[in-house]
C-alpha cells in the first residue's frame, strides 16, 4: 500500500534536493505539487514547482476544504491539495511532500499512515552558508528564515526519523531505506494475513499426513 512521506527541515537543510533525487531514481514515488501565494522565483515553473495562486484563490481553497494542510511560512501561505495527494496514491506510488512542521502536524492527523522524516543540516555554519548562497534573499528575509529555522528545529519531536544531511548521496540512500522498510511493515500489508493463514494450513496438512503414518 502506498503511503505519504513528509520531509521537513529548516530552509537550507536540503530536503528539496533529496526529494528531487528520490523522484529521479524511484518510479514508486510521486510528488505532490503544493499551492503557494508566494511569487515564483527565477526558473520556477507554475504547476511543477508550485501552483502559484492568488491569496483570494488560496482562501477559497481553505474555505472549501481543498487542502489536507495549510500554513503560513515566511509570510506566505502554502498548502497541500487533497486531490494532488490522492491522485499520486491512487496511481500506486508513495507521495513525497516537502512541507513545514506546522503543515506536517496537520497532515499527519489527516493521513495517519504518513512517514515523517526530518532532515538536519550538518551544522549551523553550513545552513547559514546555504541560505546566503541562494542570493535571493535580502537581510530582512534572511533573518526571518534563520528565526523560522530555529522554530522548525524545536518541532523535531514530531518526527520518528531524523537524517543528518552532511553528504547528499548518503542522505538520499537513508530516505530510500526508510521508504523500503516502511513498505515492509506488517500493518501496511493487508494481504500478509491471508498468506500466513495459507502457510499454517499447508503445515497443518503436513502434520496430518505424518500423524496418519505414525
117 binds ligand 5GP (CB under 6 A): no
Residues 9-28 within binding reach of ligand 5GP (CB under 6 A): 11
Give the Cα separation of 6 and 2 in Å (integer).
Answer: 13
Give the Cα separation of 28 and 103 in Å (integer).
Answer: 24
Q: Based on CB atoms, which residue is closest to ligand 5GP, 38 or 93?
A: 38
103 binds ligand 5GP (CB under 6 A): yes
182 binds ligand 5GP (CB under 6 A): no
Whole-number Cα distances in Å, 100 to 18, 27, 117, 208, 209 = 15, 25, 11, 58, 60
Q: Based on CB atoms, which residue is closest to ligand 5GP, 98 or 182?
A: 98
- Shortest reach from residue 103's CB to ligand 5GP, in Å: 2
Say if CB 77 and CB 90 are below 8 A apart.
no
Other CB atoms closer than 10 Å to residue 6's CB: what's the count?
A: 28
78 binds ligand 5GP (CB under 6 A): yes
Q: Based on CB atoms, which residue is closest to ligand 5GP, 80 or 165?
A: 80
Stretch that binds ligand 5GP, among 55-63, 70-78, 172-180, 192-200 (CB under 6 A): 70-78
Give the Cα separation of 89 and 156 in Å (integer).
Answer: 26
Looking at residue 50, what DSSP letter applies? B
Give the Cα separation of 99 and 152 in Å (integer).
Answer: 11
99 binds ligand 5GP (CB under 6 A): yes
The site that binds ligand 5GP (CB under 6 A) totals a number of residues, namely: 15
Stretch that binds ligand 5GP, among 19-27, 77-85, 112-120, 159-167 (CB under 6 A): 77-85
Q: Which residues pair with 94 in a beta bridge?
A: 29
114 binds ligand 5GP (CB under 6 A): no
Specify the residue for cell string 529521479.
24
- Shortest reach from residue 176's CB to ligand 5GP, in Å: 20
Give the Cα separation of 74 and 151 in Å (integer).
Answer: 11
34 binds ligand 5GP (CB under 6 A): yes
Query: Which residues in this chain contact ligand 5GP in the complex, by CB under 6 A?
Result: 11, 34, 38, 69, 71, 73-74, 78-80, 98-100, 102-103
Amino acid at each position: 500500500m502506498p503511503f505519504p512521506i513528509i520531509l521537513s527541515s529548516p530552509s537550507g537543510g536540503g530536503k528539496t534536493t533529496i526529494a528531487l533525487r528520490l523522484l529521479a531514481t524511484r518510479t514508486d514515488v510521486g510528488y505532490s505539487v503544493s499551492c503557494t501565494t508566494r511569487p515564483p522565483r527565477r526558473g520556477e515553473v507554475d504547476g511543477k514547482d508550485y501552483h502559484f495562486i492568488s491569496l483570494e484563490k488560496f482562501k477559497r481553497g481553505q474555505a472549501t476544504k481543498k487542502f489536507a494542510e495549510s500554513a503560513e511560512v515566511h509570510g506566505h501561505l502554502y498548502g497541500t491539495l487533497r486531490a494532488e495527494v490522492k491522485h499520486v496514491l491512487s496511481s500506486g506510488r508513495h507521495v513525497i511532500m516537502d512541507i513545514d512542521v506546522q503543515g506536517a502536524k496537520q497532515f499527519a492527523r489527516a493521513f495517519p499512515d504518513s512517514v515523517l522524516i526530518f532532515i538536519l543540516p550538518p551544522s549551523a555554519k553550513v545552513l547559514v552558508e546555504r541560505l546566503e548562497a541562494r542570493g535571493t534573499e535580502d537581510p530582512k528575509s534572511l533573518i526571518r528564515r534563520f528565526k523560522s529555522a530555529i522554530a522548525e528545529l524545536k518541532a523535531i519531536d514530531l518526527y520518528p526519523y531524523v537524517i543528518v544531511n552532511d553528504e547528499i548521496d548518503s542522505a538520499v540512500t537513508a530516505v530510500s531505506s526508510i521508504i523500503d522498510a516502511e513498505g515492509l511493515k506488517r500493518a501496511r500489508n493487508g494481504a500478509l494475513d491471508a498468506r500466513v493463514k495459507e502457510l499454517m494450513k499447508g503445515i497443518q496438512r503436513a502434520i496430518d499426513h505424518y500423524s496418519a503414518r505414525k
